[in-house]
Amino acid sequence: MAELILHHYQGSLFSEKIRAIFGFKGLSWHSVEISPIMPRPLLMPLTGGYRRTPVLQVGADVFCDTHVITEYLERAHPQPPLHPDTAGWAVRSLAAQADTRLFQIVVALCFQPKAVVAMLGTLGEDLAQKFAADRAELVKGSPGVSTLPPEAAEAELHDMLGHLEAQFAATRWACGGVPTLADFAVYHCLWLLANNTVVGQLLLPYARVRDWMQTMAGFGHGHRLEMSAEDALARARDSAPMALQNVSGHLPEGVTIGSAVTVTPVDYGLIPVAGSLDYCTAHACAVLREDPQAGQVRVHFPRSGFRIDAA
């Protein structure tokens, strides 16, 4: 089985989502710690410029965004399943809501001034300034991750947590009797909230939610092995992209398989990744790239939340 290599940093909430799924599935994986801010000179040769976190590498295949990461993990390591057949639509729908709306709510709360002071106070003045500048660059040219006022975000959070508390009075998990992707999508957002000393107290009235979070944390992170960024680059350089059986379709107008394209997020981090279009389905796409340091790599993206343009 191909090695799983996760490029991540400790405070990244979407990285925590994948780390927790590794624990749930009992997987061994290689950890490449990256800086929470740019530059990342040993990661960019793999991604072609994509700068959001985390990134999963499997040899010369690079998966950007947790949507394609979780879909790959489900195919390669199907047990225990993240979305059982009988609840697949409900699980994916709730996970999507958590990754978008709940994420926006939590970001609005964690990045309000009083919460930012608490977070950046642990970094030191120099790194705190660099972190603030880096995040400003990340959302440049876009409406940003969230435009919610903190008061509105807090009200919406309590509405969601109240319903979640009632859910856990009836069932153990977000979508019924077994843990699913929906649990991990909700968990990583609340994990970020809980780790902020200012806004973490918003969880205190919800005992069942807090118990569920402890259960989720109990899955652990699987078997973690440290790896250097140089070794990860060498893995890509010494590998070839994996064999695929994807049937392409749903192509944007004016784009064909093999043509030069760029793939770009539509919400934030608006950095195009250039390459030749290798496949394109209703759910995912990938480009092939040649890089002096990484060799030939295939970079995968979701279709939802990204656009494909002819280069």
Give the helix/strand (H/E) hosting 284: strand 284-291
Sequence-ordered alpha helix ranges (H) in the chain? 13-25, 44-47, 66-76, 88-97, 103-110, 113-120, 125-138, 150-170, 181-194, 207-217, 229-237
pTM of the model: 0.94
Domain end (from 217, 239, 258): 217
* Number of separate domains in the chain: 2
Residues pairing with 296 in the sheet: 290
In a shared domain, residues 189 and 145 = yes
The Cβ-side half-sphere exposure at 234, using a 13 Å CA radius, reads: 5
Residues ≥6 apart with Cβ < 8 Å to 208: 165, 168, 169
Query: What CATH code is carried by the domain that includes residue 92?
Result: 1.20.1050.10
Q: Which pLDDT value is given to residue 116?
A: 81
In a shared domain, residues 199 and 177 = yes
In degrees and rounded to multiples of 5, residue 295 shows phi and psi of 80, -150
Domain end (from 217, 233, 251): 217
In a shared domain, residues 54 and 148 = no
Q: Which pLDDT value is given to residue 240?
A: 97
In a shared domain, residues 96 and 196 = yes
Using CA atoms, how far apart are residues 112 and 13, in angstroms rounded to an integer? 17
The pLDDT tens digits for 62-82 are 999 999 999 999 999 999 999
Contact 222, 29 (CB under 8 A): yes
Domain end (from 173, 189, 217): 217
In a shared domain, residues 284 and 197 = no
In a shared domain, residues 137 and 73 = no
Q: Which pLDDT value is given to residue 123?
A: 63
Domain of residue 106, residue span: 86-217
In a shared domain, residues 59 and 107 = no
Low-confidence ranges of the chain (pLDDT < 50): none
Amino acid code (one letter) for 19? R
Q: Which pLDDT value is given to residue 122?
A: 63
In a shared domain, residues 93 and 213 = yes
In a shared domain, residues 39 and 151 = no
Query: What CATH code is carried by the domain that includes residue 304?
Result: 3.40.30.110
Q: Which pLDDT value is given to residue 1?
A: 61
Q: Which pLDDT value is given to residue 138?
A: 75
The pLDDT tens digits for 156-203 are 999 999 999 999 999 999 998 999 999 999 999 999 999 999 999 999
Q: Which pLDDT value is given to residue 142?
A: 67
Q: Which pLDDT value is given to residue 252?
A: 92
In a shared domain, residues 44 and 165 = no
